């Protein structure tokens, strides 16, 4: 399938898009610290491959609980080069976990960097066959501290209001993992969007 062309991203916006867009650059000196309930995440079943114009997706079931609300996992995909920039740093990779609650969307973003240690993340495997969804828990950092703000999807249709949960601790992936994603989606990260007067909340958890 022909995938989205990131060199044409200036033409993606439509007048009826969500006005406050994603991704954004997060400046941790201006985030607002807040206490919020911890994240609880579960994954079930097996991944199902689904090729879409916006890129290959991996459909999977699971739940995310936050602030007394439960969200249903719909799909996961990868970005070569993180979309969210933290204190001027663009990490090597960003994994998006797209959750729904009726029409509402929440995206959990996990940042990743290449390590030269030998590790097996199952990232290469998921592109070739279904994997046990429980293995996806390995793609989460140990600590679930995060930034939270409201933005948009980062691919067309670029809406609707999306709750973003960006985990602040990056994970590590192998150079071979990133190579697989880069080969399929070289630099599929959308340009940084105007943060405007949006608040970014920072939730720090000890474990
Ligand atoms: Zn994405």
CATH code, 51: 3.10.200.10
Distance, CA 21 to ligand 1 centroid (Å)? Answer: 13
The total number of structural domains that make up the chain = 1
Is 14 within the bounds of a domain?
yes
Give the residue among 123, 129, 109 at the shortest CA–CA distance from 180: 123
Ligand 1 center to 69 CA (angstroms):
22
Whether 16 is in a domain gets the answer: yes
- Distance from Cα 68 to the centre of ligand 1, integer Å: 25
Ligand 1 centroid from CA 30, angstroms:
25
Joined together, the tokens standing for residue 28 give 């941790």
Structural domain of 77: 6-203
CA of 148 from ligand 1 middle (Å) equals: 16
**Helix, strand, coil distribution of the chain in percent, nearest 5:** 15, 40, 45
- Tens of pLDDT along 115-170? 998 899 999 999 999 999 999 999 999 999 999 999 999 999 998 899 999 999 99
**Read out DSSP for 125-169?**
HHTTS--BGGGGGGGS-SS--EEEEEE--SSTT--S-EEEEEESS
Residue 111 counted as domain residue: yes
Q: Which pTM value belongs to this model?
A: 0.96
Instruction: Flag whether 1 is in a domain.
Output: no
Question: Does 153 reside within a domain?
Answer: yes
CA 167 to ligand 1 centroid distance, Å: 14
Q: What is the pLDDT of residues 156-171, one digit of tens each?
A: 999 889 999 999 999 9
Q: Is residue 195 part of a domain?
A: yes
């Amino acid at each position: 399938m022909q995938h989205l062309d990131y060199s044409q991203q200036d033409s993606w916006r439509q007048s009826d898009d969500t006005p406050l867009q994603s991704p954004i650059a997060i400046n941790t000196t201006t985030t607002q610290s807040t206490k919020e309930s911890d994240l609880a995440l579960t994954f079930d079943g097996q991944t199902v491959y689904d090729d879409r114009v916006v890129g290959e997706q991996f459909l999977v079931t699971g739940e995310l609980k936050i602030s007394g609300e439960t969200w249903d996992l719909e799909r996961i995909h990868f970005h070569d080069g993180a979309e969210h920039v933290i204190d001027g740093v663009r990490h090597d990779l960003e994994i998006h976990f797209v959750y729904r609650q009726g029409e509402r969307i929440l995206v959990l973003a996990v940042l990743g960097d290449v390590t030269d240690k030998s590790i097996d993340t199952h990232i290469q495997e998921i592109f070739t066959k279904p994997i046990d969804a429980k293995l996806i828990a390995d793609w989460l950092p140990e600590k679930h501290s995060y930034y939270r703000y409201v933005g948009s999807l980062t691919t067309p249709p670029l809406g609707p209001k999306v709750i973003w949960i960006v985990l602040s601790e990056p994970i590590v992936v192998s150079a071979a993992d990133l190579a697989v994603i880069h080969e399929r989606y070289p630099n599929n990260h959308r340009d940084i969007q105007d943060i405007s007067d949006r608040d970014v909340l920072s939730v720090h958890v000890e474990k």
